[in-house]
A = this chain, B = another copy of it.
Amino acid sequence: MRPKPLSGFPEFLPAGRIVEQRVLDVVRATFELHGFAPVETRALEPLEQLARKGEIDKEIYVVKRLHAAEDDVAELGLHFDLTVPFARYVMEHAGHLQFPFRRYQMQKVWRGERPQEGRYREFLQADIDIVGQGTLAAHHDVEIPLVALDVFARLHEELGLPTATIHVNNRKLSEGFYRGLGIEEPSAVLQRVDKYDKIGPDAVRELLTGELGLTDGQAGACVALAGISASDESFVDEVRALGVAHPLLDEGLAELAQLVRVARSERLVADLKIARGLDYYTGTVYETFLDGSEHLGSVASGGRYDSLASDGKVTFPGVGYSFGITRILAPLIAKGRLAADRSVPSVVLVAVDNEDSREASIGVANVLRARGIACEVAPKADKFGKQIRYAERRGIPFVWFGSSSVKDIRTGEQVDADPQLWEPPTADLRPGIVFG
């Protein structure tokens, strides 16, 4: 009886996991090039910690020992993101950390949501955050999306993944604009504007007048603001042309203009309809779309929060970005658009002539391994044709015969070779990643 997969818990075959690992390697290497230090937190947090934000409590997985003892009072749950555990980590270890603290964290998270396309119950996130003690300079809001651009550029250049475009807005800009229009509840407006891409500008306008009682002029201005986007500072003039004034608007415009100016990239767009729903951001907000796969929705997002954590005395402001690794990869791998060209790390299969000479084959393999060439020894002293098929089925490019001969089974070319000296082509050292 074959076990059935659990809906919402994606699992890859080895070739898919090879792709995921390579992606994680590139992401991690980029984070480290930008000076982010690694942190890993436990998967379980006290339930009260997880439920504090209210709205998402129905998605939490509660964890209990099967035979919990009576004195086992701690109620625990699986973390549903990496921000809540990181905030707890910062509070717990603040005395041992250097601020501003730059960390990355790549872990699975769990949400008990009803599974649907692009939504998972277990998925992998890769987060970066910069956290200050008391204060955190605004230039970090500029820095974070530059790291994200670098991540996506390297994933594109090194592994051929699709390019991505980052859309940026600033809560101060939107809120200042709404307040300048005389609107009292900017967050209610933001929630409606958040639906702009799904329902279109006219429907948003109707919600703003119908549900919130905005005047036609107010609603029109809000929708006009949401329609502005540019990858240079020209958006500032467009906003000014709407004739609204407020100090918070000025602050937001200045921050966003600075970001666009420093980034100087067509892949980073000021997009004034970006709202990030109910999340607790207080300044810059980011969303990211894969070029050509915009239908997947935002695959990486983040923003600035004035208070990541607070112990009553000290507040820890932060700015961060979360990459939805599973969200990016699972659909591409499942559809076969993203694949590894072999299912094992081995570059070489060392053939075995007969079982008595297996030790000699192990010797050849160990010489190759000592030189960084991954290999395996044939499991059975079959006819060579069968051993070659063993390699073929796994995509292993080379088969080694005896002590001094190696065959590229893709071309059939066989050459004399010394295991102490032979080098495979660099491109063959690791499985290749193919995107199509």
B-contact bits for A369-394, CB 8 A (1 contact / 0 none) = 10011111101100000000010011
| CB–CB B62/A63 < 8 A | yes
Residue A41 at the chain B interface, CB threshold 8 Å? yes
CB distance from A353 to the nearest CB of B (A): 14
In the bound assembly, the distance between CA atoms of A376 and B150 in angstroms comes to 14
A33 to B39, CA, bound (A): 27
CB distance from A133 to the nearest CB of B (A): 12
Give the dominant DSSP class at A's interface.
Answer: mixed
Known A2-B311, A62-B64, A63-B61; contact A379-B137, beta-carbon cutoff 8 A: yes
What residues of chain B lie closer than 8 Å to A198, measured between beta carbons? none
Given known A11-B40, A17-B40, A60-B65, contact A369–B140 (CB-CB < 8 A) = no
Q: From residue 78 to 121 of chain A, which have CB atoms closer than 8 A to chain B? A: 78, 88-89, 91-94, 96-98, 100, 102-103, 108, 110, 112
A18 at the interface (CB under 8 A from B): yes
A14 CB-CB contact with B under 8 Å: yes
| Distance between Cα atoms of A18 and B36 in the complex (Å) | 11
**For residue A140, which residues in chain B have a CB less than 8 angstroms away from its CB?**
379
Contact B375 A96, beta carbon cutoff 8 Å: no
Q: Is the CB of A33 within 8 A of B3?
A: no
Q: Which residues of B contact A362 (CB under 8 A)?
A: 143, 146, 262
What's the interface size class on A, roughly? 35 or more
Interface residue stretch chosen among A176-184, A265-273, A338-346, A403-411: A338-346
Contacts of A36 in B (CB 8 A): 344-345
Whether a CB of chain B sits under 8 angstroms from the CB of A329 is no
Q: Mark A49-72, 1 if CB is under 8 A from B, else 0.
A: 101000001111111111110000
Q: Is A92 within 8 A of B376, CB to CB?
A: no
The answer on a CB contact under 8 Å between B37 and A344 is yes
> A38 at interface (Cβ–Cβ under 8 A)?
yes
Contact of A96 among B13, B17, B33, B60 (CB under 8 A): B13
State the CA gap A21–B140 with chains docked (Å): 26
| Cβ contact within 8 Å between A63 and B78 | yes
Report whether A67 and B58 are in contact in the complex, using a CB–CB cutoff of 8 Å. yes
Is residue A32 within 8 Å, beta carbon to beta carbon, of the partner chain?
A: yes
Contact A38 B66 (CB under 8 A): no
- B64 and A38 form a contact (CB under 8 A): no
Say if the beta carbon of A42 comes within 8 Å of chain B.
Answer: yes
* Across-interface contacts of A143 in B (CB, < 8 A): 362, 377
Rounded to whole Å, the gap between the CB of A397 and the closest CB of chain B is 13
Of the residues B18, B37, B66, B394, contact of A61 by C-beta under 8 Å: B66
Contact residues of A between 1 and 20, Cβ < 8 Å to B = 1-6, 9, 11-14, 17-18, 20
CB of A213 within 8 Å of the partner chain: no
Chain B residues within an 8 Å CB radius of A76: 6
What are the residues of chain B within 8 A of A9 when measuring CB–CB? 42, 44
Q: How far is the CA of A81 from the CA of B327 in the complex (A)?
A: 27
Contacts of A62 in B (CB 8 A): 63-66
Asked if A419 CB lies within 8 Å of chain B CBs, one says: no
Interface status of A303 (Cβ within 8 A of chain B): no
Q: Which residue of B lies closest to A5 (CB)?
A: B92
Chain B residues in 8 Å Cβ range of A13: 93, 96-97
Interface assignment of A35: CB less than 8 Å from any CB of chain B: yes
Q: Which 4 A-B pairs have the closest CB atoms?
A: A35-B376, A65-B112, A32-B345, A14-B37
**11 residue pairs from A and B, CB less than 8 Å apart:** A3-B49, A14-B103, A17-B38, A17-B39, A18-B37, A20-B40, A34-B369, A43-B110, A43-B122, A62-B63, A139-B379
Residues on A close to B: CB < 8 A?
1-6, 9, 11-14, 17-18, 20-21, 32-44, 46-47, 49, 51, 57-68, 74, 76-78, 88-89, 91-94, 96-98, 100, 102-103, 108, 110, 112, 122, 137, 139-140, 143, 146, 150, 262, 311-312, 343-346, 355, 358-359, 362, 369, 372-377, 379-380, 390, 393-394
**Knowing that A35-B375, A66-B112 are A-B contacts, what are 12 other residue pairs whose CB atoms are under 8 Å apart, sorted by A's residue number?**
A3-B88, A5-B92, A11-B42, A32-B374, A36-B344, A37-B345, A57-B67, A61-B66, A62-B64, A100-B379, A143-B377, A262-B359
